[in-house]
């Protein structure tokens, strides 16, 4: 599995490079996932959320089987499997990768090769999973995903499925968090899973190197705000399940920080000077407590404006 491959890759790296990888947020998050319990929160309409393995995992359970949105970090496999069995032991049928990042797609090999699920993703998600892929912002290099963990059902336009009595719509976003994000709506349950285009109460990571950008994040949120209602439950990639008001607060934060950073950059401020100016000061106490701290977030926004 990918986690085992990561370990093997680290052994082969130079000491300096291995040290950089060891200090990466990826290493910290993997270690946390290895010791964290998986919590299950029922929502409605047989939709639940699993938390504790990287990003949130949305699960729809029906007599036909289970439908997942994202599959977490592979080191959590046993705990995820046990959590999935709590609503029932129906087989795993489908998994959507909302994007390529390991904390949402590291379980691909076991869910597809071992559990027999079909993985649905965008073309760019498959593209980034296929080779060795570097994320400089994380100081981390990911090895290729084995062939038996690559998505096989590729979505380039909205796809509607009828499964287990539920209507499920899978739609591509414009480039936002990456250039390969999908979002999923469970129509009858009125539950939307947004992947990492929404981080609830936490500054988000934006993968500028893989087609993402702050403007795209804002556009994706605005698109979603037009399509959800006041009672819609919205599952973020990270953070607690929220609603339209939470998504609106996230959008307003993105716009405010983007505008302030853009003004600083326009008048010639360096990245370090922009960080020192604390353009997110009004938001840092609420949003800055996660792995993306205020300076990290300003750096990501600065690169994208």
pLDDT at 183 exceeding the cut of 90: yes
- In terms of pLDDT, which residue wins out, 290 or 108? 108
Question: Which pLDDT does position 162 carry in this prediction?
Answer: 98
Q: Are 177 and 103 in contact (CB under 8 A)?
A: no
Which distant-in-sequence residues (6+ apart) come within 8 Å of 78 by Cβ? none
* Per-residue confidence band for 145, with pLDDT thresholds at 50, 70 and 90: very high
Residue range 187-197: mean pLDDT, rounded:
98
Residue range 90-112: mean pLDDT, rounded:
97
Q: What is the pLDDT of residues 91-100, one digit of tens each?
A: 999 999 999 9
Residue range 121-136: mean pLDDT, rounded:
97
Residues of the chain by 3-state class (helix, strand, coil), percent to 5: 45, 20, 35
- In angstroms, the CA 18 to CA 168 distance is 42
Q: What is the pLDDT of residues 55-80, one digit of tens each?
A: 999 999 999 999 999 999 999 999 99
- Give the dihedral sign, CA 210/215/218/223: negative
Concatenated DSSP letters for 143-191?
PPPPGGGS--EE-SS-EEEEETTEEEEEEEPSSSSSSS-EEEEETTTTE
Mapped onto helix, strand or coil, the DSSP state of residue 6 is helix
- Alpha-helical segments (H) within 214-278: 214-227, 244-266, 271-276
* Per-residue confidence band for 86, with pLDDT thresholds at 50, 70 and 90: confident
Strand-pair partners of 193: 184, 235
Residue range 116-144: mean pLDDT, rounded:
96
Question: Which pLDDT does position 22 carry in this prediction?
Answer: 55
Residue with tokens 């949105």: 69
Mutual angle of helices 214-227 and 244-266, in 10-degree steps: 150
The two three-digit tokens of residue 53, written as one number: 């393995």
Q: Are 287 and 250 in contact (CB under 8 A)?
A: no
Q: What is the pLDDT of residues 251-274, one digit of tens each?
A: 999 999 999 999 999 999 999 999
Q: ∠ CA 122-128-130 to the nearest 5 degrees? A: 105
* Per-residue confidence band for 6, with pLDDT thresholds at 50, 70 and 90: very low
The two three-digit tokens of residue 153, written as one number: 């059902």
Domain assignments of the chain as residue spans, ordered by start: 2-245
| Residue environment code for 149-163, b if the CB has 16+ CB neighbours within 10 A, otherwise e | bbbeeebeeebeeeb
At the top level of CATH, which class does the domain 2-245 belong to? Answer: alpha beta
Q: What is the pLDDT of residues 208-257, one digit of tens each?
A: 999 999 999 999 999 999 999 999 999 999 999 999 999 999 999 999 99
The two three-digit tokens of residue 91, written as one number: 């087989």
Q: Are 135 and 32 in contact (CB under 8 A)?
A: no
pLDDT at 16 exceeding the cut of 80: no
pLDDT at 205 exceeding the cut of 50: yes
Predicted model pTM: 0.92
């Amino acid at each position: 599995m990918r986690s085992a491959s990561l370990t093997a890759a680290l052994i082969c790296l130079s000491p300096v490079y291995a040290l950089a990888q060891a200090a990466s947020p990826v290493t910290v998050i993997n270690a946390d996932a290895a010791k964290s319990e998986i919590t299950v929160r029922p929502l409605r309409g047989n939709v639940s959320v699993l938390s504790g393995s990287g990003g949130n995992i949305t699960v729809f359970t029906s007599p036909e089987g289970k439908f997942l949105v994202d599959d977490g970090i592979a080191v959590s496999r046993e705990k995820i499997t046990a959590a999935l069995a709590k609503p029932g032991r129906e087989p795993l049928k489908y998994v959507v990768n909302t994007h390529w990042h390991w904390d949402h797609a590291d379980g691909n090999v076991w869910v597809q090769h071992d559990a027999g699920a079909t993985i649905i993703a965008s073309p760019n998600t498959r593209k980034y999973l296929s080779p060795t892929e570097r994320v400089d912002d994380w100081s981390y290099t990911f090895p290729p995903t084995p062939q038996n963990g690559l998505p096989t059902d590729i979505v380039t336009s909205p796809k509607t499925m009828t499964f287990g009595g539920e209507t499920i719509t899978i739609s591509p976003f414009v480039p936002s968090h990456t250039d390969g994000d999908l979002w999923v709506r469970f129509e009858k349950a009125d539950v939307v899973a947004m992947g990492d285009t929404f981080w609830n109460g936490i500054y988000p990571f934006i993968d500028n190197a893989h087609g993402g950008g702050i403007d795209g994040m804002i556009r994706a949120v605005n698109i979603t705000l037009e399509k959800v209602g006041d009672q819609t439950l919205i599952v973020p990639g990270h953070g607690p399940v929220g609603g339209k008001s939470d998504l609106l607060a996230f959008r307003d934060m993105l716009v405010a920080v983007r505008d302030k950073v853009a003004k600083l950059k326009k008048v010639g401020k360096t990245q370090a000077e922009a960080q020192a100016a604390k353009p997110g000061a009004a938001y840092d106490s609420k949003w800055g407590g996660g792995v993306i701290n205020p300076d990290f977030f300003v750096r990501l926004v600065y690169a994208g404006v």
